[in-house]
A and B are shown apart, each in its own frame.
Chain A
Amino acid sequence: MNRTLNAVYAWLLLLPAMVLLVAFTHYPALATLWHSFFSTPKGRRPAVFVGMENYQVMLQDPVFWRALINNLWFALGTVPVAVGIALLMALWVNRGLAGRGFLRLSYFTPTVLPMVAVANIWLFFYTPQYGLLAQILQWFGLTGPNWLGTRETALPALMMVSVWKEAGFFMIFYLAALQGVSPSLREAAMLEGASRWQYFRRVLWPLLMPTTLFVLINALINAFRLIDHVVVMTHGGPDNASTLLLFYIYQIGFSFWDTAYAATLTVVLLLVLGIIAAIKFRWLDKRTHYQ
């Protein structure tokens, strides 16, 4: 077989996957970018080219900035906590204790529940006066705040739900990684007289690094993809205190029908996600030790 034929053969093999990738990833992304340079078509008024106008509007839009800042806080508040708890839970259920299967199951349960169901459960937890949190606080003679109705607590309340839901999911990855670690490493460390902490710090943690990286990136992406909880629990309120980027895009796109502006905001979201991916591939990967 000559080289050209070989190349054609290779491309043909790649074709099915490429068609799907182009149709559902690349084309929509480019179309979004393209639409962001036009005005929104309305009933009898077609879209016209407006250049950078949508971007100028965006820069002056206080709700957009609110949503972006909220989202950064949201990521900052949920990702490290969720990943930390996941690791702790994984270390805990990786040991040979009784009822291990049950513990693993209960940690994982929040993950398999549908998002909207989760949000509704938490909506009840947060209800003032007779919600679960309020009832627990009452035992101690305290009144909880109006969790979802106060601007200071609305976003942290949403963050709690996210951590609760995500930690169990990430635990599975850590658990898998921990089970892949050879027991001889532990035995060797013990023979050398290493403490448990030293074993974790010097042996386990570096070995878990690829998993940590994977989990971190996923958690970060999830933080920017979250919308369900916002819709069910706060609708972005009060006064945009819990508006996240994707929720705002949904609102602009499907409540206001300003599709051009929604496309503009989507470009920003894509950019954020792209930067996160780039950090992973260009920078963190090089600093991670793979077995």
Chain B
Amino acid sequence: MRRTVLKSLAAVIAGATLSLPAYAQNKPVEVEFYYPVAVGGPITKIIDTMVSDFEKENAGIKIKPVYAGSYQDSIAKALTALKGGNPPQLAVLLSTDMFTLIDEDAIVPIDGLAKDEAGKQWLGGFYDAFMQNSRTGGHVWGVPFQRSTIVMYYNKTMFKEAGLDPEHPPATWQELVEFSKKLTKKDASGNVTQWGLEIPSGGSFAYWLFQALTTPNDAILMNDAGNQVMLDKPAVVEAAQFWRDLAAKHGVMPTGTIDWGTTPKDFLEKKAAIIWTTTGNLTNIRSNASFPFGVAMMPKQKRGGSPTGGGNFYVFKSATPAQQEAAVKFARWATAPERAADWSIATGYVAVTPAAWQTDKMKKYAQEVPAAAVARDQLDVSVAEFSTHENQRVTKVLNDALQAALTGAKTPQQALTDAQREADRVLRSYK
């Protein structure tokens, strides 16, 4: 009922606008563009500069960037706007929101808009590890933009103090435990003053960090169609048990959950020697760390590996053909090698195409900041980020289970068995 009222209201307004054809023809194509901010740094300023550069080169197109909050806020805003009949035409949203956006009939496949040879080439130019979260049902739905992966940051000074080689970060789970034990410091009364390791588990990213433990343990958490999860497999339970043991058994990590946002802060405050967080924090940590630090890949267990993460460009279905064309044009412009390199250097996100890494500025940057190349090299062993139909709900089920295991409310086995049952229930209608 309310929707009908809103729709008819929107129709009246749209009708009034369209009845001024002479006026409409002279107007440039306007594209509303929602984007989130998920890492430190002046992201809004960078985006604004990007948009104005694009508009200088493309006179007929007007991009209206709208800062929409965190990733969670952005998808909530975009879908609310969609249900209110006024969605944006272009948005950067989590790559894992793909199934949600398809189920809501909100977006169009990009490969349908970039059908020509150049377009095909463009879509084929991205790292395959990133494209794994862009494809389903034979279509490409999103274009990698601010993509990331989990890396390990470590404090070289603390490594030296603990008698460890600062050029040799932990490469296996065993080393991770050994090194972290040496890096954990206690004062006279037995209180920990410096933690060896912090893997964040609070907020909504617990599942993501968990994938940096399950992937090396050779476990994949979901299928490509996004309607089946494998949470109670032995390898998955092992990974959860290891995570729990880091605090409960080895005493190298704080007990309870660790907030996502305070992890980089703890690292900068010298309260944690090793942290796991997104490569998107690289620029932030580089400009604020008062000590030399290193960046390394996820330690191996049975294999190496990490999930990818971050946001894709999506083009909305309700946009006019002209708007969709303009939106794709902007996405192509923004992911062109030179721009992808600029964006990567300014933010710390991984440049999304091999071509971007071949540009002169990127080569120079990779030489100056070898840390930046770590994330790229890790792409070879990276897997898709956890993403299913009803994504937020299934993710919450997994996050809750992990937090229950980490706080000791349930055993890892119990928590993940419960999560599997609950996820099966949520996904039953998508099979």
Residues of A whose CB lies within 8 Å of any CB of B are: 31, 42-44, 63, 127-130, 138, 141-143, 145-146, 148-151, 234-235, 237-241, 251, 254-258
Nearest CB in chain A: distance from B117 CB, A: 32
Pair A251/B396 contact, Cβ less than 8 Å: yes
Pair A42/B103 contact, Cβ less than 8 Å: yes
Docked complex: B174-222 residues within 8 A CB-CB of A = 189, 191-193, 201-204
Docked complex: B57-101 residues within 8 A CB-CB of A = 72, 76, 79-80, 100
The 4 tightest CB contacts between A and B, nearest first, are A43-B105, A149-B256, A238-B403, A146-B256
How far, in whole Å, are A154 and B419 apart by their CA atoms in the complex?
22
Pair A254/B76 contact, Cβ less than 8 Å: yes
Is B262 close to A, CB under 8 A? Answer: yes
Pair B257/A141 contact, Cβ less than 8 Å: no
Residue numbers in A under 8 Å from B105 (CB-CB): 42-44
How far, in whole Å, are A241 and B400 apart by their CA atoms in the complex?
10
Most buried by B among A138, A143, A257: A257
Q: Beyond A146-B258, A238-B407: 5 further Cβ-contacts under 8 Å?
A: A42-B104, A43-B105, A130-B269, A239-B404, A256-B392
Residue numbers in B under 8 Å from A130 (CB-CB): 269, 271
Pair A127/B262 contact, Cβ less than 8 Å: yes
Residue numbers in A under 8 Å from B192 (CB-CB): 129, 143
Residue numbers in A under 8 Å from B392 (CB-CB): 255-256
Nearest CB in chain B: distance from A232 CB, A: 10
Pair A129/B396 contact, Cβ less than 8 Å: no
Nearest CB in chain A: distance from B379 CB, A: 29
> Given A130-B271, A238-B257: A255 and B72 within 8 A (CB)?
yes
State which of A31, A63, A142 has its C-beta within 8 Å of the C-beta of B1: A31
Docked complex: B379-425 residues within 8 A CB-CB of A = 390, 392-393, 396, 399-401, 403-404, 406-407, 409
As a 0/1 sequence over residues 99 to 115 of chain B, the CB contacts with chain A under 8 angstroms (1 = contact) are: 01001111000000000
Is B32 close to A, CB under 8 A? Answer: no
Nearest CB in chain A: distance from B202 CB, A: 6
Is B223 close to A, CB under 8 A? Answer: no
Is B259 close to A, CB under 8 A? Answer: yes
How far, in whole Å, are A258 and B388 apart by their CA atoms in the complex?
16
How far, in whole Å, are A42 and B105 apart by their CA atoms in the complex?
8
Residue numbers in B under 8 Å from A237 (CB-CB): 202-203, 257, 399-400, 403
As a 0/1 sequence over residues 254 to 291 of chain B, the CB contacts with chain A under 8 angstroms (1 = contact) are: 11111100100110010100000000000000000000
Pair A239/B407 contact, Cβ less than 8 Å: yes
Pair A257/B100 contact, Cβ less than 8 Å: yes
How far, in whole Å, are A254 and B81 apart by their CA atoms in the complex?
12
Pair A150/B409 contact, Cβ less than 8 Å: no
State which of A146, A254, A255 has its C-beta within 8 Å of the C-beta of B255: A146
How far, in whole Å, are A148 and B201 apart by their CA atoms in the complex?
12
Nearest CB in chain B: distance from A258 CB, A: 8
Residue numbers in A under 8 Å from B203 (CB-CB): 235, 237
Pair A239/B409 contact, Cβ less than 8 Å: yes
State which of B204, B254, B256, B390 has its C-beta within 8 Å of the C-beta of A238: B256
Residue numbers in B under 8 Å from A241 (CB-CB): 407
How far, in whole Å, are A21 and B342 apart by their CA atoms in the complex?
54
Pair B103/A146 contact, Cβ less than 8 Å: no
Pair B255/A129 contact, Cβ less than 8 Å: no
Chain B count of residues within 8 A CB distance of the other chain: 42
How far, in whole Å, are A141 and B190 apart by their CA atoms in the complex?
10
Residue numbers in A under 8 Å from B390 (CB-CB): 256
Docked complex: B4-23 residues within 8 A CB-CB of A = none
Pair B189/A141 contact, Cβ less than 8 Å: yes
How far, in whole Å, are A239 and B262 apart by their CA atoms in the complex?
19
> Given A237-B399, A239-B407, A240-B400: A149 and B202 within 8 A (CB)?
yes
Residue numbers in B under 8 Å from A42 (CB-CB): 103-105
Residue of B nearest to A63 (CB): B400
Residue numbers in B under 8 Å from A44 (CB-CB): 105
Is B2 close to A, CB under 8 A? Answer: yes
Nearest CB in chain B: distance from A275 CB, A: 27
Nearest CB in chain B: distance from A35 CB, A: 9
Nearest CB in chain A: distance from B251 CB, A: 13
Pair A235/B202 contact, Cβ less than 8 Å: yes
Residue of A nearest to B317 (CB): A43
Residue numbers in B under 8 Å from A151 (CB-CB): 256, 407, 409
Nearest CB in chain B: distance from A44 CB, A: 6
Pair B393/A256 contact, Cβ less than 8 Å: yes
As a 0/1 sequence over residues 325 to 340 of chain B, the CB contacts with chain A under 8 angstroms (1 = contact) are: 0000000000000000
Most buried by B among A42, A141, A149: A149
Residue of B nearest to A131 (CB): B262
Nearest CB in chain A: distance from B427 CB, A: 13
Residue of B nearest to A28 (CB): B2
Residue numbers in B under 8 Å from A63 (CB-CB): 400
> Given A239-B400, A240-B400: A128 and B254 within 8 A (CB)?
yes
How far, in whole Å, are A45 and B27 apart by their CA atoms in the complex?
36
A-B contacts, 24 of them at CB < 8 A, read: A42-B104, A42-B105, A127-B262, A127-B265, A138-B191, A141-B189, A142-B191, A146-B256, A146-B258, A148-B202, A149-B257, A149-B258, A151-B256, A151-B409, A237-B202, A238-B202, A238-B403, A238-B404, A238-B406, A240-B400, A254-B80, A256-B392, A257-B100, A257-B104
How far, in whole Å, are A142 and B201 apart by their CA atoms in the complex?
25
Residue of B nearest to A254 (CB): B76
Pair B257/A146 contact, Cβ less than 8 Å: yes
Residue of B nearest to A138 (CB): B191
Residue numbers in A under 8 Å from B79 (CB-CB): 254, 257
Pair A150/B256 contact, Cβ less than 8 Å: yes
Nearest CB in chain A: distance from B36 CB, A: 14
Residue numbers in A under 8 Å from B258 (CB-CB): 146, 149
Residue of B nearest to A27 (CB): B2
Nearest CB in chain A: distance from B207 CB, A: 12
Residue numbers in A under 8 Å from B259 (CB-CB): 148-149
How far, in whole Å, are A254 and B100 apart by their CA atoms in the complex?
12
Nearest CB in chain B: distance from A192 CB, A: 57
Residue numbers in B under 8 Å from A143 (CB-CB): 191-192
Residue of A nearest to B188 (CB): A141
Residue numbers in B under 8 Å from A129 (CB-CB): 192-193, 266, 269, 271
How far, in whole Å, are A47 and B392 apart by their CA atoms in the complex?
21
Residue numbers in A under 8 Å from B256 (CB-CB): 145-146, 149-151, 238
How far, in whole Å, are A197 and B409 apart by their CA atoms in the complex?
47
> Given A149-B257, A238-B406: A43 and B103 within 8 A (CB)?
yes
How far, in whole Å, are A141 and B193 apart by their CA atoms in the complex?
12
